[in-house]
Amino acid sequence: MARPRQFDEDRVITAAMDTFWRHGYEGTSTRDLCESTGLGPSSLYNTFGGKRELYLRALERYYETVTAEQIALLNAPGSAKERLRAMMLHSLDSDLDAAEGRRGCFAMNAAVEVAALDPDVKRSVRRTFDRVEDELCAVVGAGQATGEIAAGRDARALARLVQSTYYGLRVLSRVQDDRTVLLSTVDSTLAAL
């Protein structure tokens, strides 16, 4: 019927996610996106609509890939606390890895930079955070069932406590390079459960 696309849409979104993640929304120009995706501006606008829409797609992709990986770590074999620790360690090491560019958590970056200005971004990040909370809640519940975690307190409340500490650590990791300091806070969190 017509000329087919010369690019793989998934690859393009992944490349765009990488660029937005690294430089933020305002810090990324449409030319940056053209360069990292390999698309010309006309293809990019024809396919996705514009910078904002592509950013939303990138956030979606982050949820499908990186957040999914966090959740997989939470559902891996092991005790509840081992699984919580594995997830936090994984993120922390990612945050501190200079080779990855110290770009942090894309969802958190979006929450801080864009959520107040764009309701769609706010909704997308909210969905990611809510999903993480749910998964944490399930792990805490499992820990309570085995007696590993005190059953007296509400699982949801404990999950939210872990989640807050987790994102707080990721904030601190932006200016704190000492892994052992952050690591000890992970252990304090688990000890408090």
> Which residues inside 83-102 make contact with a copy of itself, applying CB under 8 A?
101-102
Helix axes 155-172, 106-113, angle to 10 degrees: 80
Stretch that binds a copy of itself, among 3-11, 38-46, 79-87, 180-188 (CB under 8 A): 180-188
Give the tokens for residue 8. Answer: 């793989």
What whole-number distance in Å separates Cα of residue 115 and Cα of residue 4?
36
115, interface contact from a copy of itself, DNA, none, CB < 5-8 Å by kind: a copy of itself
- φ and ψ at 25, to 5 degrees? -70, -55
Cα 62 to Cα 105: distance, rounded to the nearest angstrom = 9
Q: Among 14, 47, 163, 165, indicate the residue that binds DNA (CB under 7 A).
A: 47
Task: For residue 122, state whether it binds a copy of itself (rule: CB under 8 A).
Answer: yes
Among 15, 16, 17, 39, binds DNA (CB under 7 A): 39
- Can you tell me the distance from the alpha carbon of 26 to that of 49, in angstroms, rounded to the nearest whole number? 17
- Helix, strand counts (H, E) of the chain: 10, 0
Site residues (CB under 8 A) for a copy of itself? 24, 26-27, 101-104, 108-109, 111-113, 115-116, 122, 125-126, 129, 153, 157-158, 160-161, 163-172, 174-176, 181, 184-185, 188-189, 191-193
Site residues (CB under 7 A) for DNA? 1-7, 28-32, 39-43, 45-47, 50-52
